[in-house]
Amino acid sequence: MAKNAFYAQSGGVTAVINASACGVIEAARQHPDKIANVYAGRNGIIGALTEDLIDTNKESAEAIAALRHTPSGGFGSCRYKLKSLEANKREYERLIEIFKAHDIGYFFYNGGGDSADTCYKVSQLSETMGYPVQAIHVPKTVDNDLPITDNCPGFGSVAKYIAVSTLEASFDVRSMAKTSTKIFVIEVMGRHAGWIAAAGGLVEDHNIPVVILFPEVEFNQDKFIALVKEKVEKFDFCTIVVSEGAHWPNGKFLAEQGTRDAFGHAQLGGAAPVVANMVKDALGYKFHWAVADYLQRAARHLASKTDVEQAYAMGKAAVEFAIAGDNSIMPTIDRTSNKPYAWAVGKAPLSEVANVEKMMPKEFITEDGFGITQACKDYLLPLIQGEDYPPYENGMPKYVQLDNVAVEKKLEKFEL
């Protein structure tokens, strides 16, 4: 007999997380004998706890299809991590109440490392709390730091955006270098892993001198300044890509705003002006700097076609695995060939995914710590292949805003 499915978006959103949502819902609609409806959590798992569910059956096929080309989280996301069963049994009991009340047998959770941990805990409810639910994690993170999967949906598009934007801005600074700006600094996301910063390094093959500051490499100011000087003397300009996670040997970030997010992570921003002024003080070069911030992860207008296809495929595969009886797994992207690039859908047990962070391999960073190797380029380039432009209307992208009709509540209110 058909059960309902619960789907939620978790953590920082991306240009293609809605493509995964589209994959989940379209696949579920192909199997009405197994999945009667997909209830989406309004604002992620909070929507489950507060019984704020969205009835996706109320959305037209066209609206759901348009999710594929719409950035951000169409149902709302949240930063909210379930504690362990011991620490907060009440939340798990509530989830089971909700699942029972709304006949939910499938739990699809679309997020990164923290979310994989939540999904893993839910996947154990059958054993720990006696409620049968199949929990499948749909991978998503611009940080590209989930283990086992070759790459994460969301990363390919942000990589393409950073590579293209860095190339364009580098062309600009090169034009200005004779009498004006010689240094362009772009700050990119990536708290602990330098994957996004690495994508900026792809401009090197377009005759652009580039220096990268990775979170994986302790910042060495003297070596950095010497390298920038060398590049400017040779090329007359230099581009610098700095990860928000770049830090001093003592662990202090190059720039820290002093505030922390709900997971206790330091909220970063502002490494670019720090680095730009450092170069100015040491070498006197005029600079410009940019902080891409949300622009990079929301840039659906420049999404990687490969990324969009993979994001969709992960959503679809999650449903198909669930229907086939899987629990406590995450679909993965398995690279089966590099040249030509080919990939297949695989799967990984959540016990091996939850709370594991994949760093850049050492062999992807050049020996001096400021660049990427050919192996890294060979890894990155397939992920930014292809363009997948959204439709435009009156000069602007035609992104969908769903109706997000609420499912009728059946339970008492729950205080978070």
Is 393 strand, coil or helix?
strand
Q: Which residues of 393-403 are buried (b: 16+ CB within 10 A; e: fewer)?
A: eeeeeebbebe
Residue 243's nearest CA partner among 382, 150, 369, 140 is 369
Q: Which residues contact 363 (CB under 8 A, 6 or more apart)?
A: 373, 375, 376
**Is residue 326 annotated as part of the catalytic site, yes or no?**
no
CB of 320 to a second copy, least distance (A): 26
* Cα–Cα dist 200/186, whole Å: 9
Considering the complex, state which of residue 31 and residue 280 has its C-beta at the smaller distance from a second copy: 280
CB of 288 to a second copy, least distance (A): 5
CB of 52 to a second copy, least distance (A): 10
Considering the complex, state which of residue 25 and residue 350 has its C-beta at the smaller distance from a second copy: 25
Is 239 strand, coil or helix?
strand
Q: Which residues of 121-150 are buried (b: 16+ CB within 10 A; e: fewer)?
A: bbbbbeeebebebbbbbbbbbbbbbbbbbb
* Cα–Cα dist 325/45, whole Å: 23
Considering the complex, state which of residue 97 and residue 172 has its C-beta at the smaller distance from a second copy: 172
Residue 364 DSSP class? G
CB of 268 to a second copy, least distance (A): 10
Question: Chain centroid to CA 355: how far?
Answer: 15
Considering the complex, state which of residue 18 and residue 332 has its C-beta at the smaller distance from a second copy: 18
Alpha helices in 112-154 (DSSP H): 113-123, 125-129
Considering the complex, state which of residue 93 and residue 293 has its C-beta at the smaller distance from a second copy: 293
Considering the complex, state which of residue 1 and residue 396 has its C-beta at the smaller distance from a second copy: 396
Query: How many other CB atoms sit within 10 Å of the CB of residue 270?
Result: 16
* Cα–Cα dist 367/379, whole Å: 18
CB of 373 to a second copy, least distance (A): 18
Catalytic residue among 117, 143, 326, 388: 143
CB of 296 to a second copy, least distance (A): 9
Contact yes or no for 136/107 (Cβ under 8 A): yes
Point out the residues that are catalytic: 143
